[in-house]
Structure 1
Amino acid sequence: MYFAALLARTEDGWEASDTELDDVETLADLADLAREAATDDEPVLACIEQEGAWFGVVRIEGEDDPRVFVSDAAAAMRSSYGEILLSDELLGREPEDLEALDQLVDLDGTEDGEPDSKDSSDGGEQAGGSDTTPPGPIGDAKLLADLGMDDKALVSLAPEDALSEIADALGCTDVLEAVR
């Protein structure tokens, strides 16, 4: 079971809205959705949790790149919503598009579709697959520091209590619980 909400800071405090992620396929889509909820260039937090397994927070401010924190990258990678947050850059690997392009222009004599001797057809995962996803927290643990939650506190949160603890630190427990 998943829960996703947007927390948008306004001059009067925080506003929360339950959000549907069915049409969100990429981190850019999520950032666009969050920007629609923003007031001026105030921060918006997209909060996602999978019951007891992992949570993620994405901070969007104006047109800045999204800042992402995921509590357990390996658990999130097994989730369609988690995969939205786990960009190649965040995972420290080359984007798949670049890997595919490198394979197309490989200058080792296999450009004409000849199988490369290092390719395997045993069904194993390619480089960059989920077998390279590190377990545990990943991303910008300081993304909430100026809002009342330091990086050590964020990293130590248990997935089942995380969003409530974050809302407590931000002072918006009531608005988050209202959309739960």
Structure 2
Amino acid sequence: MYFAALLARTEDGWEASDTELDDVETLSDLTDLAREASVDEDTVLVYIEQEDAWFGVVRVDGEEDPRIYVSDASAAARSSYGEILLTDELLGREPGAEDEIAALEELVDLDVPEDGDPDDIQDGAGDPAVAAVPDLDPEPGPDAVPAGPLGELGLLADLGLSEKDLLTLRTDALVEIADALGASDVLETVR
């Protein structure tokens, strides 16, 4: 189960609203959603949580690029909303790396010809497409998603939540984030 909320800073404090992410497919969509909630291009935090698995915070300040923190990248990678937050840049990948991974996975799934010799396939002899299949090494490659926290640890430091405190948050992190921001009362209205 997912929960998503927006916290928008205003002159009078924070405004909170829960939000549906049904129409959000990319980080750009999520950023646009945050900017729409912004008052005078002030800070907006988008909080996404998958119950007992991971949470993510996206901070949007005016027209600046969004800043992202994910509590457990490997858990988030298994989630459709988590995948939105795990950009190539955040993962330290070259843009388009996912396309290359998909192409390699497609090669791995090639059917073996009925008259194909298993020995030929293992040593790559014969079919040139089979020779192009990468070694399926169980070691994580450079495109593997790391377990644990990922992103900008200082994301909320100027708002009252230190890097150390952010790293210690686990389940129900939104309550603790709202406490640090002084937004607990407005958060209760959307929870």
Q: Considering the TM-score relative to the shorter chain, is it more than 0.5?
A: yes
Q: Which position in structure 2 is the counterpart of 1:111?
A: none
Q: Which position in structure 1 is the counterpart of 2:35?
A: 35
CA distance in 2, matches of 1:26, 1:66: 12
Structure 1 spans left out of the alignment, 5+ residues: 104-113
Shift of 1:149: 0.5
Which of residues 146, 149, 152 is equivalent to 1:137? Answer: 149
Relative to structure 1, the CA distance from residue 25 to residue 60 in structure 2 (aligned partners, 3 Å threshold; closer, same or farther) is same
Q: Which position in structure 2 is the counterpart of 1:46?
A: 46
CA distance in 1, matches of 2:87, 2:130: 28
Which of residues 126, 132, 136 is equivalent to 1:118? Answer: 132
Structure 2 spans left out of the alignment, 5+ residues: 104-127
Shift of 1:41: 2.0
Q: Is the 8 A contact 2:73 2:147 kept in 1?
A: yes
CA distance in 2, matches of 1:74, 1:7: 26
CA distance in 1, matches of 2:176, 2:83: 24
Which of residues 173, 178, 182 is equivalent to 1:162? Answer: 173
Question: In the alignment, residue 143 of structure 1 is paired with which amino acid?
Answer: L
CA RMSD of superposed structures (Å) = 2.3
CA distance in 2, matches of 1:161, 1:37: 23
Calculate the TM-score normalised by the size of structure 1.
0.83
CA distance in 1, matches of 2:32, 2:97: 22
Higher helix share: 2
CA distance in 1, matches of 2:183, 2:154: 19
Note the 1:13-162 alignment, pairs <5 A.
Answer: 13-96=13-96, 100=100, 115=129, 117-120=131-134, 132-158=144-170, 160-162=171-173
Calculate the TM-score normalised by the size of structure 2.
0.78
Higher alpha-carbon Rg: 2
Q: Is the 8 A contact 2:88 2:97 kept in 1?
A: no
The alignment partner of 2:185 has SS state of helix
Shift of 1:177: 1.9
Q: Percent identity?
A: 65
Q: Is the 8 A contact 1:96 1:128 kept in 2?
A: no
Question: In the alignment, residue 148 of structure 1 is paired with which amino acid?
Answer: G
Count of aligned positions: 163
